[in-house]
């Protein structure tokens, strides 16, 4: 019973904390023309607080003090707008209850199967334990695979340390939170076009298809998945409402913070950050001065990443050297063809393992064929091609046996990237619904 109550404490704590620093109701009153939803404010706050925790990870700070400061500031803002929150809860009562039921059910499932999977045990928990014990980034010098990015482990340790029972798995409830925030944000943005029954059906299906308790066993894919989703979600929003933001740098700040989370989440996040930044610079509807500002911020983020890695670990390390003998072997056409065939085979297997990809591809084809959606949102097709090429490049470059590597890694990479295209099946459903109504 005590353990179940502690789960509720963690759920409520997460819901409270991420109402800060941007309080939706205060923001709405001052900038109501920006048309942000409550879910938008939660997404933005999660992005901002994740970056705040990234900064604090470099110092030996008391995690309880940080937690208390964040939750106190958020509670003050909530009480200041308590009537507004109560009104919103009544208005969104059914979908809020569905969110809480799913959130609690998934959290209990993690408690029931509290064990960690291979990478969670071999890599990420070691860093989380270090931060849980009061360590800072500098202390990572003494742990295995110290060059792995640490942000997910630090956030894990942050919430691990801030529950009454100090159970490790309670820190991983954060990953459930960002997953559900992602899936529920889709229906929030389109709530006026969907009735309550449609919202419940869509969010239940999407959540059921995309949940993977194996990945909640200490892996960082849901943090990358969340970052991909936020990038496409806000790039769409800023492009569709570019006149509202044409005089400020708000879009660049949000996107660079998303990229920073990506860079410090996993090794491939460094390259994802470069790809997403190129996509933003090429396909965002922004003035040159703002794109220039973003480019400067991006160079700052990447330079800081490289400097920190070299300063603490003497080199910018990855599991494999970027330039190695495997690249030379690929000049053999037969050898290269066999590798491409093998990667393609596991791609297809992965699409069936995560059926949401089938929905994405199906929606991709029909949106392209029957609508002008991609003429208005031009970044989807180039980003899809770039991501596919990048994934192939990863496995063509590695000297590790692909028969061993592909089954254990490709599915996680493909899952994380799906966050970038999560919205497409919903867009297709709405376009189909509109045609049927007409």
119 and 68 in one domain? Answer: yes
List, for residues 55-68, the tens digit of each pLDDT value: 999 999 999 999 99
List, for residues 367-401, the tens digit of each pLDDT value: 999 999 999 999 999 999 999 999 999 999 998 89
Model pLDDT, residue 29: 77
Q: Give the structural domain span for 318.
A: 2-322
List, for residues 145-183, the tens digit of each pLDDT value: 888 999 999 999 999 999 888 899 999 999 999 999 999
423 and 317 in one domain? Answer: no
Q: Which residue, of 270, 305, 322, is where some domain finishes?
A: 322
Q: Are 386 and 275 in contact (CB under 8 A)?
A: yes
265 and 120 in one domain? Answer: yes
286 and 428 in one domain? Answer: no
Distance CA(350)–CA(122), nearest Å, equals: 24
Claim: this prediction has a pTM higher than 0.85? yes
331 and 214 in one domain? Answer: no
Q: Following CA atoms 283, 287, 289, 291 in sequence, which dihedral angle do they give, to the nearest 10 degrees?
A: -10
Q: How confident is the model at residue 18 (pLDDT cuts 50, 70, 90)?
A: very high
Q: Which residue, of 307, 322, 337, is where some domain finishes?
A: 322
Structural domains of the chain, count: 2
Distance CA(234)–CA(245), nearest Å, equals: 12
360 and 215 in one domain? Answer: no
Residue whose pair of structure tokens reads 């030379």 in the numeric block: 328
207 and 169 in one domain? Answer: yes
Span 323-347, mean pLDDT? Answer: 89
Q: How confident is the model at residue 437 (pLDDT cuts 50, 70, 90)?
A: low
240 and 189 in one domain? Answer: yes
Nearest by Cα to 7 from 152, 113, 111: 111
348 and 267 in one domain? Answer: no
266 and 277 in one domain? Answer: yes
Span 357-369, mean pLDDT? Answer: 94
260 and 304 in one domain? Answer: yes
- CA distances from residue 191 to 19, 232, 300, 357 in whole angstroms, order as listed: 20, 18, 38, 23
227 and 277 in one domain? Answer: yes
């Amino acid at each position: 019973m005590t353990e179940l109550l502690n789960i509720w404490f963690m759920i409520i704590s997460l819901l409270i904390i991420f109402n800060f620093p941007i309080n939706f109701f205060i923001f709405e009153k001052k900038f109501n023309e920006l048309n942000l939803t409550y879910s938008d404010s939660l997404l933005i706050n999660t992005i901002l607080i994740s970056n705040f925790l990234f900064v604090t990870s470099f110092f030996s700070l008391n995690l309880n003090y940080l937690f208390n400061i964040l939750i106190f500031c958020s509670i003050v803002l909530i009480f200041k707008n308590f009537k507004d929150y109560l009104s919103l809860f009544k208005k969104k009562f059914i979908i809020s209850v569905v969110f809480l039921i799913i959130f609690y059910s998934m959290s209990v499932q993690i408690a029931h199967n509290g064990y960690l999977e291979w990478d969670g045990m071999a890599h990420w928990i070691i860093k989380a334990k270090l931060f849980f014990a009061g360590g800072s980034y500098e202390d990572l010098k003494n742990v295995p695979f110290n060059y792995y990015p640490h942000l997910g482990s630090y956030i894990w340790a942050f919430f691990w340390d801030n529950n009454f029972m100090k159970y490790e798995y309670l820190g991983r409830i954060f990953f459930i939170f960002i997953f559900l925030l992602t899936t529920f944000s889709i229906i929030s943005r389109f709530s006026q076009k969907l009735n309550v029954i449609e919202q419940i059906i869509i969010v239940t299906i999407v959540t059921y298809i995309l949940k993977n308790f194996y990945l909640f066993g200490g892996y960082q894919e849901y943090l990358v998945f969340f970052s991909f989703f936020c990038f496409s979600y806000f790039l769409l929003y800023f492009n569709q409402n570019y006149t509202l933001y044409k005089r400020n740098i708000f879009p660049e700040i949000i996107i660079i913070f998303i990229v920073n989370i990506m860079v410090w989440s996993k090794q491939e996040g460094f390259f994802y950050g470069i790809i997403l930044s190129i996509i933003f610079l090429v396909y965002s509807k922004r003035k040159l001065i703002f794109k220039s500002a973003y480019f400067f911020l991006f160079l700052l983020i990447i330079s800081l990443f490289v400097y920190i890695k070299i300063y603490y670990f003497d080199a910018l390390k990855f599991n494999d050297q970027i330039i190695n003998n495997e690249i030379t072997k690929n000049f053999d056409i037969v050898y290269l063809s066999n590798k491409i065939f093998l990667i393609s085979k596991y791609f297809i297997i992965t699409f069936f393992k995560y059926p949401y990809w089938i929905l994405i591809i199906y929606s991709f084809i029909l949106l392209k064929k029957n609508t002008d959606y991609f003429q208005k949102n031009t970044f989807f097709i180039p980003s899809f091609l770039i991501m596919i090429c990048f994934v192939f490049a990863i496995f063509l470059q590695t000297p590790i046996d692909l028969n061993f590597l592909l089954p254990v890694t490709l599915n996680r990479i493909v899952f994380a990237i799906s966050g970038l295209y999560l919205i497409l099946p919903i867009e297709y459903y709405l376009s189909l619904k509109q045609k049927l109504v007409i």
